Chain A
Amino acid sequence: MLSISDLHVSVENKEILKGVNLHIPKNEVHALFGPNGSGKSVLLSTIMGFPEYKILQGKIMFKGEDINQLSIDERVKLGIAISEQRPPTISGVKLRSLIELLASERKDDAFIEDMVERFNMAKFLNRNINDGLSGGEIKKSELFLAMVARPAFLVLDEPDSGVDPEHLKKIGAMINEIIQQGNQGKISCDPLAKNSGLIATHSAAILNYIHTDKAHVMLNGQIRCSGNPGVMMEQIRLNGYKYCIRCQQLIQEE
């Protein structure tokens, strides 16, 4: 589904990603761990195509297509959606206006109405986008917009940061809804069919509500090790990220 090879990315002329390699197959959701400043958000924003992240080297392939040169909206059309950690506030623009515009493009009114009701989004529709929302409300709004996009690949940047436990459960349900959209309305031979995704998380709190197939640790702009999400998180909790560095050193010594 998504394949990244030897990706080097700079922001404001400073190289942040220094050779990232990552492969996420179809029907898999991966977690991305790493301390603050390790480059997780830069990787996610680069996948989405935000122009301030300059690709110096390497390739991002999505569904077999090189997407390095595609604009943000072209990537959305291909099936990538993002839920940002700190999205901008857009003064004067109501969430309803954006949703209506997206609905008219996709002729998807009934689905959107259903999602508004199921996830209790009606009260957000008449508010300006991300204006005056709490941390949990911003995540809900972001996930709702991702849901409307019906992506094949979901990119989540810290969906659990600044969220209270009650909201976290609801956010987990929304993420699962988006992931399971991959197995809705289709006749599939694969009972495990689902959408793919990459979830960057600092605390891993969200992983109590979402099944992830694999995890990676990012340090200093590189993915240093990969493995079982539960085991890796447990090790990080016990030993910190040096656990991963030790793993990396062991691999190099062999």
Chain B
Amino acid sequence: MPTVNTGGIIMEHGVFINDMAQAGYLKVDYSRFKDIEKIENNSSTIDELNLEGDEISSLKAVGVNLYDNSLVGKFLIYGTNVYTSRPRIAGVEIIPLKEALLLYPDIKAKYYFKAVDREQDEVTRTAYKKEQNGYFIRVKKNVVVDIPIHTALFMHKENSVMCIHNIVVLEEGAQLHLITGCTSGCTLKEGLHIAVSEHFVGKGAKLTNTMIHNWGSDFVVRPKTATIVEDDGTFVSNYYSVKPPKNIQTNPFTHLKGKNASAKYMTVLASLPNTYSDIGGTVLMTGENSGAELVARAVNHGGTVNQTGLLIGAAKGVRAHVDCSGLMLSTEGVIEAIPGLRAMHPDARMSHEAAIGKIDTGEVNYLQSKGLEEMQAIALIVRGFLDIGIEEEGFEPELQKAIQQISELSGHGEE
């Protein structure tokens, strides 16, 4: 009987079970990781930080430059140490969550596990029980932060566990671009990263959350993110996976609660052999005339990718579009695109598209006829495929290079 590459998806009674979770992809033996490291209560300032050259480069490759003094604010969790900088403008707070909970007792009642359900799964329960490490960022009413704030979560110890809880609050009319880089540096192989992130976007506020991941080959990563957006608020989520971990599952959830609220998810992912990436997004629209767009792009070099987008229209005048596309650059591997729409109101206007394919050889030949070599042509096409309009102005040159390498890697992948 011929063998069929199914990427490990199980087959029963001649039918593929269209659920990678059931196929065991999400089953992880957590016991192989060491206990969650305790983070000290006292935090240091960024000025006291003394990083090695490789570590600085690793952070820059995920978009974070902690030595850039023009930034409005900076925050780093480096293993078990926390470093912060005093925000350079009034109306912005960046403090470790532990300190924030002591300083502002109302945070617990208003924000702590108020967007993410602490009983959602094993990961959220662990985050609730074990630790309160992470950042609390608040931008006060009508304060516009026009230079990004950089935050980084740096795992530097082999086989360690980092458990993070972040809360971001934008009050009415506030604006913020937050760049968060998560990395295990360039030498680590194994670890577990758990992160709960809760975002609260107030009336007329705008939060752009750019997340960049660069992980070791045997990491397990479980981000749990939820965002609540009030009237006229905007949430933009940009996600780049420069180098995927062995196993990641994330399905960020956004609730467009207010009238005219909007959300946009843009996801760019490179999948490598022996990795599983379940990168999705769910947006619930209960605010009148709210709108959501979800755009996901994956290039697959032999791993398994599950792109699941679900938009739920449950109010008058909502509009939504989901677009999941994949490029297969290897004869191995699986991409499964599941763009989902759920209309719960007759006025909902919703659409979706999905396309998976290989590189068009006609396009490669055409670019070669203009003078590019085959690998250059493939890289350029992949770069075009991944260009979904993420605003890259202000990105570190190292990050831009890392993003470019996703497509250059693709060129080599054809060899």
Identify the closest chain B residue to A145 (Cβ): B370
Quick check: A50 and B381 within 8 Å, CB to CB?
no
- A92-B387, A149-B371 given; A101·B366 CB < 8 A: no
Contact assessment for A91 and B370 in the assembled complex, using a CB-CB cutoff below 8 Å: no
Interface status of A235 (Cβ within 8 A of chain B): no
Are the C-beta atoms of B363 and A90 separated by less than 8 Å? Answer: yes
Check B366–A84 contact: CB distance below 8 A.
yes
Q: How far is the CA of A73 from the CA of B370 in the complex (A)?
A: 8
Q: Are A73 and B387 in contact (CB under 8 A)?
A: no
Q: State how many residues of chain B have any CB contact under 8 Å with chain A.
A: 22
B369 at the A/B interface (Cβ < 8 Å)? yes
Residues of chain B within 8 A (CB-CB) of A148 are 370-371
Q: Which 6 A-B pairs have the closest CB atoms?
A: A92-B384, A93-B384, A72-B368, A73-B368, A76-B371, A92-B387
- Stretch of B20-28, B256-264, B343-351, B372-380 on the interface side: B372-380
In whole angstroms, how far apart are the Cα atoms of A51 and B361 in the complex? Answer: 10
At the interface, yes or no: B14 with Cβ under 8 Å from chain A? Answer: no
Which chain B residues lie closer than 8 Å to A48 at the CB level? 369
User: Which A residues lie within 8 Å of B373 (CB)?
Assistant: 73
Extra inter-chain contacts (5) besides given A90-B366, A90-B384, CB under 8 Å: A72-B369, A90-B367, A93-B380, A98-B367, A101-B372
Interface, chain B (partner A; CB < 8 A)? 360-363, 365-374, 376, 380-381, 383-387
- CB within 8 Å of B: which of A120-154? 128, 145, 148-149
In the complex, whether A71 has a CB less than 8 A from a CB of chain B is yes
- Chain B contacts for A87, CB-based, 8 A: 366
Contact (Cβ within 8 A) B384 A91: yes
* Complex contacts, B369 vs chain A, CB 8 Å: 48, 50, 72-73, 76, 81-82, 84
Contacts of B386 in A (CB 8 A): 92
Q: Are A93 and B370 in contact (CB under 8 A)?
A: no
Distance (Å) between the CB of B293 and the closest chain A CB?
17
Inter-subunit contact A73/B371 (CB<8 Å) = yes
Interface membership of chain A positions 93-105, coded 1 if the CB is closer than 8 angstroms to chain B and 0 otherwise: 1100110011001
Return chain A residues, CB-CB under 8 Å to B381. Answer: 90, 93
Q: What is the minimal beta-carbon distance from B372 to any residue of chain A, in angstroms? A: 6
With the chains together, A236 CA to B384 CA distance in Å? 45
Contact with B along A48-62 (1 / 0, CB 8 A): 101100000000000
A73-B373, A102-B370 known; A88 vs B384 contact (CB < 8 Å): no
Collect the chain B residues with CB atoms within 8 Å of residue A128's CB: 384
Tell me the bound Cα distance from A90 to B385 in angstroms: 9
A105 near B383 with CB under 8 A, answer no
Distance of B109 from chain A, by nearest CB (Å): 46
CA of A11 to CA of B366, assembled, Å: 17
Measured CB to CB, the nearest residue on chain A to B366 is A88
A105 and B365 CA atoms in complex are apart in Å by 18
Complexed CA–CA distance, A128 and B363 (Å): 13
Q: Report whether A97 and B368 are in contact in the complex, using a CB–CB cutoff of 8 Å.
A: no
A93 to B381 Cα, complex, angstroms: 6
Contacts of B383 in A (CB 8 A): 92-93, 97
Question: In the complex, which residues 12-37 of chain A have their Cβ closer than 8 Å to any Cβ of chain B?
Answer: none
CB–CB A88/B380 < 8 A = no
- Min CB gap B6→A, angstroms: 29
Interface-central residue, B369, B370, B373, B380, by most chain A CB under 10 Å: B369
Tell me the minimal C-beta distance from B189 to chain A in angstroms.
34
Of the candidates A73, A88, A148, the one having the most CB atoms from chain B within 10 angstroms of its own CB is: A73
Q: What are 13 pairs between A and B in contact, CB < 8 Å?
A: A51-B361, A73-B368, A73-B371, A73-B372, A76-B369, A81-B370, A90-B366, A91-B384, A93-B380, A97-B383, A98-B370, A128-B384, A145-B370
- Set of chain B residues within 8 Å of A149, measured between Cβ atoms: 370-371
Contacts of A84 in B (CB 8 A): 366, 369
Q: Are A76 and B370 in contact (CB under 8 A)?
A: yes
Nearest CB in chain A: distance from B386 CB, A? 8
Could you tell me the distance in whole angstroms from the C-beta of B307 to the nearest C-beta in chain A? 17
A98→B391 CA distance, assembly (Å): 20
Q: Are B360 and A88 in contact (CB under 8 A)?
A: yes
In the bound complex, how far is the Cα of B384 from the Cα of A87, in angstroms?
Answer: 17
Q: How far is the CB of B58 from chain A (nearest CB, A)?
A: 27
* C-alpha gap A84/B370 in the complex (Å): 11
Nearest-neighbor residue (CB-CB) of A51 within chain B? B365
Residues of B within 8 A of A51 (CB): 361, 365
Structural contact, A71 and B384, CB atoms closer than 8 A: no
Residues of B within 8 A of A72 (CB): 365, 368-369
